[in-house]
Amino acid sequence: NLCVLATIDEDRNPQARVVVLRDVERRFAIFINGTSPKQAELALSRRHAVLVYLASLGVQYRLTVMLEPIPQTIVHASWLERPRIPKIMDWLYERFRPQSTDVASRDELMDRFADLDRELPEEVGAPSTAVGYYLNAERAERLELAGDRPHTRVRYHRNGAVWRATHVMP
């Protein structure tokens, strides 16, 4: 349920982070907080890279994706299913400091978190900064690692609704 999202920041430096990969309406999707640097980075390019590694199977998927915004009604409904701590954090980003900004100390963060946790109702709704994207894959590569034979690598390229597969040197 995790993937690595790769982007390029405003200085053209590569950035990568682990995000939760969701199944929304039978489509891959990610949800983020709009205060995160990820949001600005996603706006800098039409295409992004996603990596999924299934260690138990020894299989890696590399995807080239274009993002499609998820309608806010779906984002807000999905947000309600999140655990309490990430919900509080999303509200903390909106009310205290945006994600990835400096904070004076861990104690200050924990105090602000505790105050907000007491303040917000148990059934709190999503903040306006909750956003989500469907991952529309244009290209995918599947690498199956093998210790007893050469690895298997297949590249899939989409042309409209049709996917073509090509075997690639691993």
Each residue's pLDDT, cut to its tens digit, for the chain (170 residues) gives 899 999 999 999 999 999 999 999 899 999 999 999 999 999 998 899 999 999 999 999 999 999 999 999 999 999 999 999 999 999 999 999 999 999 999 999 999 999 999 999 999 999 999 999 999 999 999 999 998 999 999 999 998 889 999 999 99
What's the pLDDT at 152? 96
The helix (run of H) or strand (run of E) holding residue 74 is helix 72-79
Alpha carbon distances (Å) from 45 to 89, 129, 150: 27, 20, 35
Residue 70: exposure state from Cβ atoms within 10 A (0-12, 13-18, ≥19): buried
Beta carbons within 8 Å of 146's beta carbon, 6+ residues apart:
58, 152
**Separation of CA 4 from chain center:** 7
What's the pLDDT at 115? 97
Structure pTM? 0.88
What's the pLDDT at 160? 87
